[in-house]
Chains A and B, each alone.
Chain A
């Protein structure tokens, strides 16, 4: 049966993935029309992710939860892009004990810590090991113990009960080690935000090296982030994304 199915694995990152349905896309900021100095209206955003700065409307991606209200129910909808290279580096990587270095370029072990995520991010991470994305071909492997892990994947807004386990998992890793915070909840607290029972982001508990925004970020974005942490690719541009394909959903 397996032979009949053929090869399903994506070609990314060697070449871009063009199949439909691989990413929920995200809104992108636009330069406002300034014919008469009129500022455009900022579309409603329940996550307070859209800001008007000077002459452009920009999207704060670590807060965007992909609710589509800015494109569906806004009077002036934002442009939408179907990209997936969303990972952002968070540190300057000056600390030598945190640099992963050459031995890790082709083989990295990952430990996933669920600090209160809604399971959509977890489901996307599960797809990473499955035939369509198959990160094993790139040299990434999941381990069940942080002792043997080089990179910690943290999802969720770090609920109160998971703060100590997350801290312990981070401490249990041997240097050099890196942390990838995946998902909007892990970056800014998501829809639940900082509250009496959640910290509001992984960075409040352990230092984060790479952030992958999205709710949930598609597996391709996570591959992008993993390549970044292994030192193999360039990060996405933030403020004004180069147009990949602008289509309204």
Chain B
């Protein structure tokens, strides 16, 4: 090809390095501009490199230096990596522009130089992780990425809570890294060298026990990175602790790396062979989704809510992956392909709208004085653009057409409904339960983001800062607008995107599923050779499925599954058509209203409040009140404990104050993390007991060890 992806990658790395260097030497005044420029250029380079690979074919395979004993350092960007890099760059671009204004508030308090250095190096390390094709480079880049993201989280290191959250994140990431590394090393045992290619060819030779070990270790290790329950204890603490734009990176980019690891190891290197492994993935994903959205709905801190919501979305992605694994293990490659496509599409969508929401939350944080929704309100008057873009993000994450969340949410549930082809009853029941769970999370997500948007932007301002909030500068609103437009495009052009993702997935499942996904009607291209009989297709022709052919843009998004001859199952939806119809309806109504009522005067009166003298902010619904029903219904998960419940009474009868306080526990902490902490503390206590500081004891230890070795030597 004309474009040489290899040189693009090299250019990209060079730009990142240059950016880091510039951040280190430039004075603070031009620091942020340099950061914005360099990072944007780097993003564009990465976009073009990965775009080229995605659209045109496989890319460079670079064999770099040969290390003694560890083998060659191999860099290979295949389509999977390319997709992830594309999404990464698509997030980095607006965030970099946003940083230009946002980071100004740290001027003088914290070092902008170190932020710039970490930022560029993180970008480089992420891309390196994604294109690493042998274990050594993978692990080195992974570690670098972990440590750099920790440094970004720990940026406001003067707050104790921030440092604690960062430390927890680092510790859990390291545990995950160790598990993942072990998984990779087990696979090395059967192969000749450390490259992924040889791992792939050798993986089929592993025994059952080894395959299970690899699966469990890699899934738990990468699952911690992706924030799946029960490894999600660090997420709700770490993401809010980082500065706003870093949170966007963390949620939109770093979490994806966990998914990348799962996909790379369990779909590419060592494809899942046992359905029960897929079942584990499916169940863990559904549980994460449910728990994530529950805590998001009842959370009042905007950023913490978005962090919990990230857990939910990662759960959805994982559930789709699990479904794909199960379909693949049972020998339905096309369905597996659909599931993987959906998972990767959702990953891309999530990065887009999560980054948008985090940027919006950061803008609100810096302009309206805080993240606590109980102290916001009425921001739509002062920050209309931020409100509009945040609304787009909220609509997308709540899976409403015509935005992108709708497409993948719909496809997820459709995929899970395809379980009728499976033979095992238990698995079918599991699919049904998980499908129900995901439907519940979808409903809760709508509640959560209605609350988030309404409490922050609508209604009356509940604090002084919220009343006087002003719109963010253009360098902040333009990136948000960019992401909003991307969300819309991803939502109305799914049938152009899915073939691209399909080519990513095809090498994994060895089959292309596009034809089953978007049949020839609705289009204006001549009919392709599909695997559906002509009679089947003509039935839909009679139903008028070709209406609008040649006039309306885009193809309809249809999931066709020819079950049996008697009962073909079809699910059809066209988001581009939805957008056109919506636009027509809204536009016509607006025009009609303008025409018919152009002579009427419009009077504006304050909202009717029952005749009160003045409606005070205390008299309007708070965020806590709005989500209280959810809290009450899911009481057993939240396990709230009443901390204070005092009633102050004067003179025996007059109640002068009632104080209710409550604290809630994070169930993952309670069920997963605390027991591990306690166990390790117990273990540490035991070990401390062994250090009795008596010479006799140590002599005894040496003796015992010697005896054990002698015994082993004797048996072997």
User: Which residues of A approach B to under 8 Å, CB–CB?
Assistant: 145-147, 162, 164-166, 168-169, 171-172, 174-175
B700: Cβ under 8 A from any A Cβ:
no
B568: Cβ under 8 A from any A Cβ:
no
B694: Cβ under 8 A from any A Cβ:
no
List of A residues within 8 angstroms of B608 by Cβ: 145-147, 168-169, 172
Among B603, B605, B611, B613, find the residue whose CB has the most chain A CB atoms closer than 10 A.
B611
List of B residues within 8 angstroms of A172 by Cβ: 605, 608
Task: List the B residue with the shortest CB-CB distance to A165.
Answer: B611
Q: How far is the CA of A232 from the CA of B392 in the complex (A)?
A: 51
6 more A-B contacts (CB under 8 A) besides A147-B608, A168-B608, A172-B608? A146-B608, A164-B611, A166-B611, A169-B608, A174-B603, A175-B603
List of A residues within 8 angstroms of B605 by Cβ: 171-172
Q: How far is the CA of A168 from the CA of B613 in the complex (A)?
A: 9
Within 8 A of A (CB), among B587-608: 603, 605, 608
B205 to chain A, nearest CB (A): 75
Q: How far is the CA of A56 from the CA of B73 in the complex (A)?
A: 119
19 contacts between A and B (CB under 8 A): A145-B608, A146-B608, A147-B608, A162-B611, A164-B611, A164-B613, A165-B610, A165-B611, A165-B612, A166-B611, A168-B608, A168-B611, A169-B608, A169-B611, A171-B605, A172-B605, A172-B608, A174-B603, A175-B603
A32 to chain B, nearest CB (A): 48
List of B residues within 8 angstroms of A164 by Cβ: 611, 613
B685 to chain A, nearest CB (A): 66
Q: Is the interface of B mostly helix, strand, loop or mixed?
A: loop
List of B residues within 8 angstroms of A174 by Cβ: 603
Q: How far is the CA of A147 from the CA of B610 in the complex (A)?
A: 11
Within 8 A of A (CB), among B67-99: none
B502 to chain A, nearest CB (A): 53
Within 8 A of A (CB), among B649-663: none
List of A residues within 8 angstroms of B603 by Cβ: 174-175
Q: How far is the CA of A146 from the CA of B611 in the complex (A)?
A: 10
Task: List the A residue with the shortest CB-CB distance to B600.
Answer: A175
Task: List the A residue with the shortest CB-CB distance to B602.
Answer: A174
Closest 10 CB pairs of A and B: A165-B611, A172-B608, A147-B608, A168-B611, A145-B608, A172-B605, A171-B605, A146-B608, A169-B611, A164-B613
List of A residues within 8 angstroms of B613 by Cβ: 164
Q: How far is the CA of A165 from the CA of B611 in the complex (A)?
A: 4
Q: How far is the CA of A175 from the CA of B611 in the complex (A)?
A: 19
Q: How far is the CA of A172 from the CA of B607 in the complex (A)?
A: 8
List of B residues within 8 angstroms of A147 by Cβ: 608
Task: List the B residue with the shortest CB-CB distance to A145.
Answer: B608
A235 to chain B, nearest CB (A): 30
Encode contact with A along B659-699: 1 for CB under 8 Å, 0 otherwise: 00000000000000000000000000000000000000000
List of A residues within 8 angstroms of B611 by Cβ: 162, 164-166, 168-169
Within 8 A of A (CB), among B606-664: 608, 610-613
Q: How far is the CA of A171 from the CA of B610 in the complex (A)?
A: 12
Q: How far is the CA of A164 from the CA of B610 in the complex (A)?
A: 11
B600 to chain A, nearest CB (A): 9
List of B residues within 8 angstroms of A165 by Cβ: 610-612
Q: How far is the CA of A169 from the CA of B608 in the complex (A)?
A: 8
Task: List the B residue with the shortest CB-CB distance to A147.
Answer: B608
Task: List the B residue with the shortest CB-CB distance to A148.
Answer: B608
Q: How far is the CA of A146 from the CA of B608 in the complex (A)?
A: 8
A29 to chain B, nearest CB (A): 39
Q: How far is the CA of A133 from the CA of B611 in the complex (A)?
A: 29
Q: How far is the CA of A162 from the CA of B611 in the complex (A)?
A: 9
B608 to chain A, nearest CB (A): 5
B153 to chain A, nearest CB (A): 49
Task: List the A residue with the shortest CB-CB distance to B609.
Answer: A168
List of A residues within 8 angstroms of B612 by Cβ: 165
Q: How far is the CA of A164 from the CA of B609 in the complex (A)?
A: 12
List of A residues within 8 angstroms of B610 by Cβ: 165
A171 to chain B, nearest CB (A): 6
Task: List the B residue with the shortest CB-CB distance to A113.
Answer: B611
Q: How far is the CA of A30 from the CA of B183 in the complex (A)?
A: 110
Task: List the A residue with the shortest CB-CB distance to B608.
Answer: A172
B238 to chain A, nearest CB (A): 47
Q: How far is the CA of A162 from the CA of B603 in the complex (A)?
A: 24
A99 to chain B, nearest CB (A): 15
B312 to chain A, nearest CB (A): 38
A165 to chain B, nearest CB (A): 3
Q: How far is the CA of A139 from the CA of B610 in the complex (A)?
A: 25
List of B residues within 8 angstroms of A146 by Cβ: 608
Q: How far is the CA of A199 from the CA of B605 in the complex (A)?
A: 25
A204 to chain B, nearest CB (A): 18
List of B residues within 8 angstroms of A171 by Cβ: 605
List of B residues within 8 angstroms of A162 by Cβ: 611
Q: How far is the CA of A18 from the CA of B317 in the complex (A)?
A: 75
A173 to chain B, nearest CB (A): 9
Within 8 A of A (CB), among B281-333: none
B616 to chain A, nearest CB (A): 16
Q: How far is the CA of A194 from the CA of B611 in the complex (A)?
A: 22
B323 to chain A, nearest CB (A): 49
A211 to chain B, nearest CB (A): 23
B561 to chain A, nearest CB (A): 49
List of B residues within 8 angstroms of A166 by Cβ: 611
